[in-house]
Structure 1
């Protein structure tokens, strides 16, 4: 059979499923990523499968670039759909999750890496940095609705805004792991370099580049003379151009592109808060994100079918996964929300639904390309298992839990 024609046929099927499945699954306790993984397993096991070997250990560059692309597009979509203006008080839950929950989670996962998985320090820190952030791609079912849709309760807003910012804010810890891994060849000067360049400069550059890009493109989109405004085109693909431009410029000046893209999206939204063009930008971004996510999840399923990453799983990795998903993240989230105004059941949902996903694969692929980490195969297997369990457990639970929250809100309100 002609692999090219088979590939076109399968791609067409995936594109149609991208449009159809979200509608079908809306009220079912299943998520789109779960079905995509299942489809990938079935496809990989079929005798005419055109899927290449997708083991990230053997395809690190492809894994890094593809996951990078889908994450930055998801970050743009997350920023565009937030209806709540940036403020200290209005975003207090987000600041708590970022400033308290994420560092606690990184520290906890690092200890799990050291004691349970018996990894060296650099590898354990990398595991913590890769698995601490919640994922903006796979967490769409717990996020707010489209712009101006009035689907923005505290739980959905907190999880959306956290996913938008913590992907970039975990990067200093990724670079910390890289610095420690390289310390043997760079002496003791690495710490000062890490503080100045990887913490201070890269964060500042990411925030500044995102704000400046958002301001300039906000002016070009909404405030030029009427016939020259980008918004007059009605083209949603402008959002992809903004995403790639902002990310590329920020990375060229050695800033955190993930931070810049999300900040640019917030700044662009603030340029003309209630303009209907935001809906077009968001809708196109969401469609591209969903299509890329489905393709990657199909490949994820193919890796499961291949068994290359799962054959060496052991009890240590299983224990680590259970601790990360069901102890460390919920406990860290709950601690960060002590004293917050939300009722207990909302705090519990915010704490528990820290979904892990494609961002974790990106961090691991990026870091292992920058330095050599002892136990790389253990890192990949542990991250792979944690993401898989998160997709399945959170994907099954998210629909009934969010509907339960909505019913409670209706009864209370």
Structure 2
């Protein structure tokens, strides 16, 4: 069972994408008009799959136990896949709506928007994650849903610009710190110790075959132009979410050869940062120019 369990873990760990590592694939701020289909799809995918892949990390952890049986599978299905996912989405929505009321709909003297402070974005993130985790749901999913609910509480309020700006700055600062730490682990921590040509083939297969093929298959039947489909399918950027998922799994389960798992995931993240980081800006610029020409040709 070790082989299938490790395969499931790797699949779940590599599911999260991280557009923060390539800001060109993120949607623009409120009202900036940069919410084209490709950027919107990649940003929303990253928000959703952080939470939706977590049940399968829990399944891999459960499968790593020697006593796993059909009762454990039913428990995972009912608790982790259904209940905790539902709780994360429902509680996240309730928290987002409640904070949206406190932020935008109270009288001006009591409204959080009166402060003009971007730290409210951080508070919303921590409140949603912490409360839902204490309730037993998936905090990552709750953060995504609560942010959507907060945005919809008052879509035209200028305070959204301040929240977005602070969140973007905080993301980049945190990502810079994490990338420095990641580089240190690569250089001095032996993260890629034992990396061989089979792992290299796997990394290439994930980034150049599996992700684009799965992306194109998921877009079958959509009315998106083929150029946008290619961008959405190719730029599944792997980042810190994969490292967090793997660390969580290895701390809660018993997996054979964890050093090999670290080398595989570290190789995918490193290759993704290099490959997507180099290609994202020219690819998105070409897409933007093509979209402008298409609009001009229809006017």
Question: Shared topology, TM-score over 0.5?
Answer: yes
Matches within 5 A, 1:6-25: none
Runs (5+) with no aligned partner, structure 2: none
Q: What's the CA shift string for 1:239-267, capped at 9, x where partnerless? A: 11111011000000110101100100000
Matches within 5 A, 1:215-254: 215-254=97-136
The alignment status of 1:344 with 2:226, answered yes or no, reads yes
Conservation of the 8 A alpha-carbon contact between 1:135 and 1:359: yes
Which residue of structure 2 lines up, in the alignment, with residue 160 of structure 1? 43
TM-aligned CA deviation for residue 307 of structure 1: 5.6
SS of residue in 1 equivalent to 2:78: helix
TM-aligned CA deviation for residue 289 of structure 1: 1.2
Runs of 4+ in 1 over 4 A off after TM superposition: none
Runs (5+) with no aligned partner, structure 1: 1-113
Matches within 5 A, 1:385-396: 385-396=267-278
Choose from 141, 146, 155 the match for 1:259. 141
TM-aligned CA deviation for residue 135 of structure 1: 1.6
Higher relative contact order at CA 8 Å, sep ≥6: structure 1 or structure 2? 1
The alignment status of 1:356 with 2:271, answered yes or no, reads no
Which residue of structure 1 lines up, in the alignment, with residue 52 of structure 2? 169
Give the Cα–Cα distance (whole angstroms) in 1 for the partners of residues 278 and 19 of structure 2.
18
Matches within 5 A, 1:267-286: 267-286=149-168
Give the Cα–Cα distance (whole angstroms) in 2 for the partners of residues 140 and 179 of structure 1.
36
Taking structure 1 as the reference length, the TM-score comes to: 0.70
TM-aligned CA deviation for residue 364 of structure 1: 0.2
Give the Cα–Cα distance (whole angstroms) in 2 for the partners of residues 305 and 204 of structure 1.
41
The alignment status of 1:402 with 2:284, answered yes or no, reads yes
Aligned CA RMSD, in angstroms, stands at 1.3
Which residue of structure 1 lines up, in the alignment, with residue 30 of structure 2? 147
Conservation of the 8 A alpha-carbon contact between 2:193 and 2:263: no
TM-aligned CA deviation for residue 140 of structure 1: 2.4
**170-179 or 136-145, larger mean C-alpha shift:** 136-145
Taking structure 2 as the reference length, the TM-score comes to: 0.96
Which residue of structure 2 lines up, in the alignment, with residue 411 of structure 1? 293
The alignment status of 1:318 with 2:206, answered yes or no, reads no
Conservation of the 8 A alpha-carbon contact between 1:122 and 1:180: yes
Which residue of structure 1 lines up, in the alignment, with residue 75 of structure 2? 193
Choose from 104, 126, 129 the match for 2:12. 129
Count residues with an aligned counterpart: 295
